C-alpha cells in the first residue's frame, strides 16, 4: 500500500529520462524512483569505500502507483560493462526486470507509448 503523502513525495522525484536511474525504465510505463549507494561501516569505525550497499526503490505507473519495489544489493561487484558500482547501474536494472514482469502478472495497462516491434529483415 502506498500512502498518498509518500506517493506524492516520490512523484516529486519524478520519472527519469536522464539522471542516475535511466536503467530502471520499463517500456510502456512512467516510472519514478530513487537510487542509493552507501559505503559499509568498518568494525573499528568509519566507512569502507570498497564495500557498498546499492539500492533502488521505484514505483509505476508514476502518476497512479500500482507497483512499488525496493531492490537492495549488498556488496555488488563490477562485472561486464558495469565498472562503477552504484544504485543506478546495479539495482535499477534489477528493478526494471522485476517491474516489467510484475506489470504482466498484475495485468497493468501501459500508460506511455510503446515502441512498435521492429520488422524482421529475414522471413521467420
CA atoms within 13 A on the CB side of 51: 7
Asked whether residue 123 is assigned to any structural domain, the reply reads no
Q: What count of other Cβ atoms lies within 10 Å of the Cβ of residue 78?
A: 11
Residue 91 belongs to what domain range?
4-105
Asked whether residue 120 is assigned to any structural domain, the reply reads no
Asked whether residue 90 is assigned to any structural domain, the reply reads yes
Give the pLDDT mean for 15-28: 76
120 pLDDT more than 90: no
What CATH number does residue 65 fall under? 3.40.710.10
Distance between CA atoms of 1 and 104, rounded to whole angstroms? 19
pLDDT digit string, tens, across residues 66-105: 999 999 999 998 877 767 888 999 999 999 999 999 999 9
36 pLDDT more than 60: yes
Asked whether residue 118 is assigned to any structural domain, the reply reads no
Q: Looking at the 3D structure of the chain, how many domains does it have?
A: 1
Asked whether residue 124 is assigned to any structural domain, the reply reads no
Distance between CA atoms of 13 and 54, rounded to whole angstroms? 18
Asked whether residue 23 is assigned to any structural domain, the reply reads yes
* Pair 68, 78: CB distance under 8 Å: no
Asked whether residue 115 is assigned to any structural domain, the reply reads no
Name the one residue in this structure whose C-alpha cell is 573499528.
44
DSSP one-letter code for 24: G
Q: Band the pLDDT of 31: cuts 50, 70, 90.
A: very high
pTM for the model stands at 0.78
Asked whether residue 116 is assigned to any structural domain, the reply reads no
Amino acid at each position: 500500500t502506498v500512502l498518498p503523502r509518500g506517493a506524492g513525495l516520490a512523484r516529486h522525484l519524478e520519472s527519469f529520462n536522464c539522471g542516475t536511474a535511466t536503467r530502471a525504465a520499463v517500456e510502456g510505463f512512467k516510472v519514478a524512483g530513487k537510487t542509493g549507494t552507501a559505503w559499509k561501516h568498518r568494525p573499528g569505525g568509519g566507512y569502507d569505500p570498497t564495500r557498498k550497499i546499492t539500492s533502488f526503490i521505484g514505483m509505476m505507473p508514476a502518476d497512479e502507483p500500482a507497483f512499488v519495489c525496493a531492490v537492495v544489493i549488498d556488496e555488488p561487484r563490477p562485472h561486464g560493462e558495469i565498472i562503477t558500482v552504484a544504485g543506478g547501474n546495479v539495482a535499477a536494472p534489477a528493478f526494471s526486470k522485476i517491474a516489467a514482469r510484475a506489470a504482466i502478472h498484475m495485468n497493468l495497462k501501459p500508460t506511455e507509448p510503446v515502441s512498435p516491434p521492429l520488422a524482421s529483415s529475414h522471413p521467420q
